[in-house]
Structure formats: structure tokens, C-alpha cells
Structure 1
């Protein structure tokens, strides 16, 4: 069954189209694990660095009758993975490829969401799989939203828990994040990670090596990709490439335009 806006509209959160190109920088080790296992790996939001991630579900809910209820069971069932609509920035390479060995992959919202959706729609239901655009808010806005939240609406599913995982502080808005989210209602988050099968040749549109990687490293990576039969175009980012030019200086006293030669 093809993925279309009609049968997944409720599960695509925010102003984002299914055909939107998205990108993710993996460490070389994680990328090699991806292409060898042919499984995409989601992690629990508690593993994300920012303490404001998953802020809503870290709280204790106070019911109308004054009873305090931990949201830990709800929180533990969720897994996610972060992507971006930003093709390339200096900051993204430096943050997510600190060892200068990162690999950026390009896909679309549809291609990464499709395998998850059709793997679990029949067993876990529509409330298990989401893809959404992160909304960036100031710290005070997030705190006020939490204070005004009605616990029962979250617990009873009247407010989408997925939406609470798509809020991040304004300081991170340069990342332009899109997140894929999964709620494991059967195993209830027993594992720290969740993996699902993907067809690499159907999913990956482009593979790009770190701009700071050596020529030898890039060639070895390219050979390994070819060996595994991956057809996505492979290249190295030219973000830092620079070819010095020769310029011609005018004789003393003359005003001549500088031309590249």
C-alpha cells in the first residue's frame, strides 16, 4: 500500500510534506552499523542531551482529585530519531561529527517513515507512529505550557504525546529538526533502543562523507558502500574545500582591475 497524505495525515505533525528532503549525520561507526544491519535505530528521548527534551513526560501529573501520578510508564514507551531539513552547516558537522568521521545521509520524510508505519500499523495502531517538525520555544514558554497542561488530557490521549516530544528550546532552532517517533505499546519500552527494517536502496538518496575526512578515508568508505551494493550516490562534502587563485598586480602607480588568471 503506498504511503499517502490521506492515510497518514493525522500522524504527520507540523507543516511538513511527505516529499520533503531530510538529512542526518551519523558517526562512521553508526553509519556502518546502519548499512550492515539494514535497520534504522531509534532511541529513548531520555538519551538525548538537552534536559528540556521530553520535558512534559518528565513531570509528575496532578489529577483533578489531587492524586499525583508518575508519567514514567508513558515516557518509557517512546523512541525517536532526529533529522533536519537543513542540508549542511558548519555547526552541524562540528556538533554531530566531532571526530571528523561523520557521514550525512539524505532521504525524505516519506521514505524513512514508510517502513515504520507499515511495520506497526496493524499491531500497534495509528497512535504508535509519528513524524513531526520540531517547534522551537523559549524556556519560559515551555515552562508555562507545562504548568497549563491538563494531566488527564495527556494520559487519556486527548493531547498527543507525540506533540510533547516535538518541542525544543529556541537556542537550538538552527537545527531545523524533524523527528520520527514510535510508541512501543506491546513491549512497553523494555529496550533502550528500537530498530526496524529498511531497504537501503529505497531509503537513501545520497551519502556524503565529512568534509574534513582524508582522501584515504573517503575512498575506503566508498569502496565499502559499493561492496554492499548500495546504489545511492556517494560523495564528500566540499564545505571546506578551497582552491587558491593566482591574481595579477598592477605596476606601481597604475590602477588596473585585479583579474583571476
Structure 2
């Protein structure tokens, strides 16, 4: 049993389903290497991640924050287009308690992001947050322009308390996971060709999934 455990935000319920859009390559890497990865938030494309650095003393960040992005949206045209530009993306589905299967996370948080319009205002409001969430809240801020992503983040601090050790000079931290226990559903890009769908089904069967991948019916005329 972890000494501190993974904190689940009060808005993340036991029956909440979480989704991660990814390329085929990243999906296969997760399956073949039985690993998932956390990324240094400061290396993310949006330079307004960790916005506290932009207006406050940078020394306030005692340790590097690493994160992984998920979404509450399992049906999203926008997210398919963002994360699957080649029309061959994969969407995996899981539940909050499954994040306890990720190895070496001794302490961290799984929480919806906090979307903001006024940075100074939201930073002032965050000063009232207490408890352990306060340690990670700097990594949960995101501009309202991205609100359509309905994002949930897994966040840890790169230190001994959260990961058992401190990883040095890396943008990514790879952690072991059993994808066959972690993944509850596999959804294929709604724009994918039939041959591609069959290939993904064959691959998942061959590597040992009990799950049968399905093609997203986002554009199915039967939904009208």
C-alpha cells in the first residue's frame, strides 16, 4: 500500500470514465513496453502551462511537476482532429481507480483542470486551497480557450516523496503498467478505413486483449 496514495479530486467519481486520445505509435508503445509516461509540464507546447512562473517568483516551484492529460470527453470531433490528424488515432478508456496500477507513483493527484480567464484572479482564489491538493494545483491551470478538451490531469512532483526517487535531466518519466488491466475500452478513429479497423482488431487479439476494439460511431448516420 502506498504511504500517501493517489488523491482523487472530489469531482472524479468512482464511476467516472476517462479517455486518452493518442497516436497508434503511442498506443503500441504502451502495449509492447508495458509503460506509460509522464511529461515535464514545462516542456508542453502551450507556454502558459505553469502560468504562476510568468507573474510570480520562479523560486516558488520547489520541484518539477510532471503530468499526463486525459479527458472526460469520449465523443469529440475536435479532439479526434487534434490528436489524430492522420485519421488513424486510438482512444483508450479507463476508470479512476485503475491509475493505482501505475508503478512507483507513491503520491500524486488526479483532477480536472481549472480553466481561467483572469490569471491573477484565479491565483488569488487558489490561495484558499488547503490540504495535499495545494502541492499540485499549479499544474492544473489552463486557459479557457482550451475548455472544449474537458481535461483531467494526473500530476506528480518529480521527487522521492511522489516517485520514490528523483529523475534527473529528463522531459519524460516512464513508469511500468499492465495495459491489459488498465485499459477498459479501445476506440478507433471514426474516419479510419475499414482495413485499418480490422488490422487494429487483429493486433489487439494477437497481443492478448480481451477487449474488442470498436470504431467510433461519431459520424454514423444511425445516430441522426
The interval holding the TM-score normalised by the smaller chain is 0.7 to 0.9
Question: Is 1:114 the counterpart of 2:91 in the alignment?
Answer: no
Cross-structure match for 2:71: 84
5+ long unaligned stretches in structure 1: 62-68, 122-127, 244-261
- TM-score (norm. length: structure 1): 0.73
Larger radius of gyration: 1
Cross-structure match for 2:155: 181
Q: 1:44 to 1:58 in 2, by over 3 A?
A: farther
Question: Is 1:221 the counterpart of 2:200 in the alignment?
Answer: yes
Q: Find the residue that maps to 1:81 and give its secondary structure.
A: strand
Q: Is the 8 A contact 2:18 2:72 kept in 1?
A: yes
Cross-structure match for 2:38: 42
Question: Is 1:24 the counterpart of 2:30 in the alignment?
Answer: no
* CA positional deviation for 1:58: 5.0
Q: CA RMSD in A?
A: 2.8
Cross-structure match for 1:103: 90
Cross-structure match for 2:59: 70
Q: Is the 8 A contact 2:110 2:155 kept in 1?
A: yes
Cross-structure match for 2:180: 201
Q: In the aligned structure 1, how far is the partner of 2:101 from the partner of 2:123?
A: 33
Q: Is the 8 A contact 1:38 1:200 kept in 2?
A: yes
After superposition, the C-alpha distances for 1:126-171 in whole angstroms (9 at most, x for unaligned) are xx41111112111x2x133447887xx9xxx987231111121112
* CA positional deviation for 1:119: 2.5
- TM-score (norm. length: structure 2): 0.84
* CA positional deviation for 1:202: 1.3
The alignment of Structure 1 onto Structure 2 pairs a total of residues equal to 215
* CA positional deviation for 1:188: 4.7
Q: In the aligned structure 2, how far is the partner of 1:194 from the partner of 1:25?
A: 19
* CA positional deviation for 1:19: 3.3
Q: Is the 8 A contact 1:23 1:87 kept in 2?
A: yes
Q: Find the residue that maps to 1:35 and give its secondary structure.
A: helix
Q: In the aligned structure 2, how far is the partner of 1:51 from the partner of 1:200?
A: 31
Cross-structure match for 1:251: none
Q: Find the residue that maps to 2:173 and give its secondary structure.
A: strand
5+ long unaligned stretches in structure 2: 160-164
